[in-house]
Amino acid sequence: MRKIAIVMIALFVVSIAWTQSLPTEEIVGGPYVVNVRQRSATVMWIVKSGQMTVGTTPDKLGTAIPMLRAEKLKMTGLKPGTEYFYQSFPGEAGKGSFKTAPSGAASFQFVVYGDTRTRHDVHRAVIDAILKYANPEFVMQTGDLVENADSTALWPIFFDAERQLLRKAAYFPALGNHEHNSKNYFDFMDAKPYYSFNWGAAHFTVINSDISNVSASQLERDAFWQEQTRWLEADLRAAQKADFRFVFAHHPPMTAVKRRQGDNPHMTALEPMFEKYGVAAAFFGHDHNYQHYKKNEVHYFITGGGGAPLYDVDTPPEGITIKAASTENFVVVNVDGKKAHIEAKKPNGDTVDIAELVQQQP
């Protein structure tokens, strides 16, 4: 009898030790919805499955590196322009909603912001302000979501700041240089380097301006840029019947930041294409401030004030500058048929800039 008791206790101790050695899974991001179209959408969330500790001496493993994986569920057969509610993982935190893209002419709102890296308190303030002053069906991120996309420690901070916004608005990101072309970005966003979609009668085109991280090989970088540029032109040409054509990328073609002027000739070289195919507005990030230009009927907005340290706007380009302000910001776009009202706002709700767009057919 005593032997049986000892064996039972030993088994109990072993089972406790086994349970404790198992990694405890934890949801550290989401739910959020990506790749929303008229009839399909993908709900995602991020799971921390464990962590590894590392250090420079055996008894000082001070740095913890979380192991993350993205869960995703693609839904098809949805109805256009319809609000859907879902329960992803269990509990209140797993609930969310999104609206599918409407077909035909529709009125809708989207928000553009970017460069949410580095100052997490500012990132939170910008998200809180979007929730307070706007009600977008979807958000466009102009890139540099986190300071280093290879670092799994940063993504839970990003998703925590974005939580309340992303559980109610679809998410469309552009690739920034701080994404480092990382597999984490593509896995967590279920994203392609460049893509396009329609929302109502408007067409949205997102390109990867971060060619320096595409490859270590100049030949491969050039090949990527040629391929993407061909795709961009074909995409814009095929969207000529849209009421609006909007383009998004991280690196801007022009800037009021003197030390950065002329940095992105590959983007500046796209301006004639934007003009030829009647792009109403192109949105960028990378510069941590707000800038608005109008050049040959195309509006250019730089909204990179989502958290990264602010840059001066010391040398606004002559003749095309409408507004340049060194401030945190986000941009609210209300599309109503063939008109679009654009308002850039500070996190405190103050208006930075207002623009009215009317799509000009080329």
Interface with Fe ion (CB under 5 A): 144, 176-177, 286
Residues whose CB is less than 8 angstroms from the CB of residue 290 and which lie 6 or more positions away in sequence, other chains included: 301, 302, 303, 305, 323, 324, 325, 326, 327, 329, 331, 344, 352, 353
**How many C-beta atoms surround the C-beta of residue 81 within 10 A?**
17
Write down the least CB distance from residue 309 to Fe ion, Å.
Answer: 12
Residue type, 198: N
Q: Which is nearer to Fe ion, 137 or 144 (CB)?
A: 144
Q: How far is the CB of 129 from Fe ion (least distance, A)?
A: 21
Q: What is the full DSSP assignment across 12-23?
A: HHHHHHHHHHSP
Q: Within 113-217, where are the H helices? A: 120-133, 155-166, 183-189
Which C-beta is closer to Fe ion: that of 167 or that of 251? 251
Least gap, CB of 300 to Fe ion (angstroms): 16
Our CB check for Fe ion shows the closer of 30 and 114 to be: 114
Least distance to Fe ion, CB of residue 173, Å: 13
Give how far the C-alpha of residue 176 lies from the chain's centroid of Cα atoms, to the nearest Å: 9
* Closest residue to Fe ion using C-beta atoms: 286
> Which neighbouring-strand residues pair with 341?
334, 356
Instruction: Report the C-alpha gap between 203 and 201 in whole angstroms.
Output: 7
Nearer to Fe ion, 109 or 148 (CB): 148
Q: Which is nearer to Fe ion, 144 or 162 (CB)?
A: 144
Taking the complex as a whole, the smallest distance from the CB of residue 343 to Fe ion amounts, in Å, to 24
Residue type at 75 in one-letter notation = M
